[in-house]
Amino acid sequence: MGYLIKRYLIIVIIFSGRCFSQDIEENEVSLLIEKCGGVYFPNKKIISDSWGSSLSFFDIKEGEKIADIGSKSMTFIGVLSVFSEKATFYCEDIDSSCTTQEQADKVIKYYSKIKEAPISNIIIPVIGNEKTTTLPSNFFDKVIIDNSLHEFSDKETMLKDIFRILKKGGKLYDRESLGRKNGEIHIGCNNKLFDENTLINLVSTNGFQYVNSIDSRIPTGAYLSKIFLFKKE
């Protein structure tokens, strides 16, 4: 999701009313995003003010095992880790140059500064491919797809694999940019976007029960962004 980095940073600057806080220098952020991109907020208040209700929708609990599919830089999990404790995140992506323990350590170090306390969540990078997450079956309490489903080359195969790795009763959270109509081209990644009904139908026909959704306050550069919650029965 590297194409969103500049847009995210611009929005962060607008919310903060200045470039970066005294604690987190701009050059530090530039070095962090140079290789793998990602979103690095300058302080906790800006995250709460801009993303707060969206982040709470994920309802992260201590002890949960959560897979983040399409994680790459793992900074979204860093943000979630500012507001959660003692969960284990398996961060999966096909990009072996960025989804590494070194990158995970950078994210943990950075967002521990933002949290002003050590991050207690465990972040484990995992390399998958376009057909499978390579993650264990019936293992996860939750799976998160963070604005990536419309980019998957084989959406149905990946949804079936996500169904496989979730426990019975497990939850799938999908945050997606949406088009005004199905098939609208996203100006950032040039992939086709879903409309809301098409997305719900696609996920539902691959074994999941739709629960509910909320408007996402997390910007994506699209007409609309929502977080959808599905359940594995």
Q: Are strands 140-146 and 122-127 parallel, antiparallel or unpaired?
A: unpaired
Q: Are 198 and 176 in contact (CB under 8 A)?
A: no
- Secondary structure letter of residue 205 according to DSSP: T
What residue has token string 């300058």? 42
Q: Which residues contact 39 (CB under 8 A, 6 or more apart)?
A: 4, 5, 8, 9, 12, 73, 75, 76, 79
Segment 189-205 shows an average pLDDT of 92
Positive or negative CA dihedral for 125, 130, 135, 139?
positive
| Residue with more model confidence, 185 or 122 | 122
Segment 137-157 shows an average pLDDT of 95
pLDDT tens for 4-59 read 434 444 333 333 333 333 345 577 778 888 889 999 999 999 999 988 889 999 99
Can you give the pLDDT at residue 28?
Answer: 73
In whole angstroms, what is the distance from residue 202 CA to residue 192 CA?
A: 14
CATH of 49-232, one of 3.90.950.10, 3.40.930.10, 3.40.50.10860, 3.40.50.150: 3.40.50.150
Can you give the pLDDT at residue 179?
Answer: 87
pLDDT tens for 92-132 read 999 999 999 999 999 999 999 999 999 999 999 999 999 99
- Closest among 29, 30, 37 to 5, alpha carbons compared: 37
Residue 225, CB half-sphere, CA atoms under 13 Å: how many? 18
Helix (H) or strand (E) holding 57: helix 44-57
Q: Are strands 88-93 and 65-69 parallel, antiparallel or unpaired?
A: parallel
Domain ranges across the chain: 49-232
